[in-house]
Structure 1
Amino acid sequence: MLLDHRWRRWRARWARAVPALCEACGRWPDGPLCPTCQRDLAPLMPRCPRCALPRPAEVPFCASCLGREAPPWTQVLARVDYAPPWDAWVAALKFRGRLGLAAPLARLWLDDPALDALLRGCDVWLPIPLAPRRLAERGYNQVWALMQALAAWRPTPCAWPTALQRRDDAPAQHRLDRAQRLAQAPQLFALDAHAAHRIRGCHVLVVDDVMTTGATLQAASAVLLAAGARAVSALVLARTPRPGSPASME
């Protein structure tokens, strides 16, 4: 087991250090995702600020969110659908130690004209954490890797990787269906004992790689608002498409 953990850490360091061909077009030496492919494969589209699903440009919210009670977060910004090719690349970063993908994936956020206004309004950036046991197995938190990459291009007021803490006995979200995710959400997170006074009165930005049902964001927002945060917003890389939508069938 110890040898396996050492191998995972060595592989993660190697993936971060060594450049690669573009995953989409195979060009060299543009890196894991070349700028041309990022532009062509990730077109900007209007998204609902409540659920991050696509919406018509002429309305402020998607049809599902109109008339529904507002979520506890102020807004959520997502860049791409969690669908081909992005789902495979996010999974490679998340599960296979491909840390070299963190920077090109984080760079997708820079194309969104709403990004800078969102970041300016937030005082603290917090990544969605892994459970301690899973972090020990994987050797890294892919969300923190995305945040570090983004911070190279945008100033970070305060980023705290351990402020939110995930229960070690909570099952991995990607293994659960919608009902299970929503049911376990209230027990997902706790706040670090030293973090409460730091986030009191702050507008907190919660960062995650994938938003599926919103249960994770709901749980994180509840903990932060209960601790005195003034507001919570979210930045996610990918949004799982609505079932039955064209993106969900790719």
Structure 2
Amino acid sequence: MGLQAVLHAVYPPQCLGCGELVTSDFGLCGKCWRDTPFISGLVCDCCGQPLMGEDDGSVAQCDDCMALARPWTQGRAALLYKDNARKMVLQLKHGDRQDLARPAGAWMYRAAKPILRPDMLLAPIPLHWFRLLRRRYNQSALLSASVAKLAGLDYCPDLLQRRRSTPSQGGRDRSARFENMEHAITPHPRRKAQMQGRHVLLVDDVLTSGATLAVAADACLAAGASDVSVLVLARVAKDA
């Protein structure tokens, strides 16, 4: 027996969601797969919001992205932030389930394929140093590293820095979210040269209003990035 077969015999693969036995590593059982709202079909080219209609290859945008001036060009999301997806995001973010970053990165890579460019530089949304110290890891950094490896693209984990510790965005309306994030994220002074003339792909775990990603995108553009796109594991849909 090969090493992998021996390991599977001793430690059989378990579902990422419920722990039931599955046939492959980092997989979901049938029930958890059905309860995980993967995004497919026609989506907003700017934020990944699922849209009504058929995907005929043309560019479409949701009402929000037509009304708001997003500082980024394109965006995608792998999941809707509800049901089993919400559970896994919270486990990754607060439950020390760092093992979820590998399969989640694969889902994000699949969702991001239409917007990936050969010259892209991937970077995560940063955590404030105090929050990073308490959590011990940045979930967005784990996700962006996984996507960068699969895509074969450059990755800079500290391209940006969070200069002040912002209160949680939970429970805030759109305007309050933007106000809360104002001037919170800046380019790392020793990494500015890396984004000069580059297309930056910002990676985060969840997109709600887009306030955090907007501040980060503005910081990249001000530092000399030629363009910015965004990629998230999950996004809050209007009907979620």
Q: What TM bracket, shorter-length normalisation? A: 0.7 to 0.9
1:8: which partner in 2?
none
1:63: which partner in 2?
63
Q: Partners of 2:39 and 2:21 in 1: how far apart?
A: 20
2:217: which partner in 1?
221
1:27: which partner in 2?
21
1:15: which partner in 2?
none
- Show structure 1 runs of 4+ deviating over 6 A: none
Secondary structure at 2:155's aligned position in 1?
A: coil
Deviation at 1:48, TM superposition (A): 0.7
Q: Deviations over 1:107-160 (max 9, x none)?
A: 212443xx234222542111001110000001111111112222342212x211
Q: Deviations over 1:3-38 (max 9, x none)?
A: xxxxxxxxxxxxxxx886202572245345338668
CA contact (8 A) 2:203 2:231 kept: yes
Deviation at 1:186, TM superposition (A): 2.1
Q: Partners of 1:240 and 1:216 in 2: how far apart?
A: 14
Secondary structure at 2:182's aligned position in 1?
A: helix
Letter in 2 for 1:163: L
Question: Could you list the runs of 5+ residues in structure 1 that have no partner in the other structure?
Answer: 1-17
Deviates more, 1:32-41 or 1:42-51: 32-41
Deviates more, 1:52-61 or 1:94-103: 52-61
1:5: which partner in 2?
none
**Counterpart check, 1:97 vs 2:90:** no
Identity of aligned residues (%): 33
**CA 152–39 in structure 1, closer or farther in 2 if over 3 Å, else same:** farther
**CA 69–110 in structure 1, closer or farther in 2 if over 3 Å, else same:** closer
1:109: which partner in 2?
108
**Counterpart check, 1:144 vs 2:141:** yes
Q: Partners of 1:129 and 1:183 in 2: how far apart?
A: 18
**TM-score when scaled to structure 1?**
0.79
Q: Aligned Cα RMSD in Å?
A: 2.4
CA contact (8 A) 1:82 1:239 kept: yes
2:182: which partner in 1?
186
Q: 1:168 aligns with which of 155, 164, 167?
A: 164
**CA 20–173 in structure 1, closer or farther in 2 if over 3 Å, else same:** farther
Question: Could you list the runs of 5+ residues in structure 2 that have no partner in the other structure?
Answer: 1-10
Letter in 1 for 2:14: L
Letter in 1 for 2:208: T
Letter in 1 for 2:99: G
Following superposition of structure 1 onto structure 2, how do residues 67-78 of structure 1 map, counting pairs within 5 Å?
A: 68-78=67-77
CA contact (8 A) 2:20 2:29 kept: no
CA contact (8 A) 1:24 1:37 kept: no
**CA 111–198 in structure 1, closer or farther in 2 if over 3 Å, else same:** closer
The size of the alignment, in residue pairs, is 223
CA contact (8 A) 2:72 2:230 kept: yes
Q: Partners of 1:93 and 1:20 in 2: how far apart?
A: 19
Deviates more, 1:100-109 or 1:227-236: 100-109
Letter in 1 for 2:228: V
Q: 2:194 aligns with which of 198, 216, 230?
A: 198
2:81: which partner in 1?
82
Deviation at 1:43, TM superposition (A): 5.1
Following superposition of structure 1 onto structure 2, how do residues 35-46 of structure 1 map, counting pairs within 5 Å?
A: 40=34, 41=36, 42=38, 44-46=40-42
Q: Deviations over 1:146-194 (max 9, x none)?
A: 12222342212x2111110012332233464433211122222011111
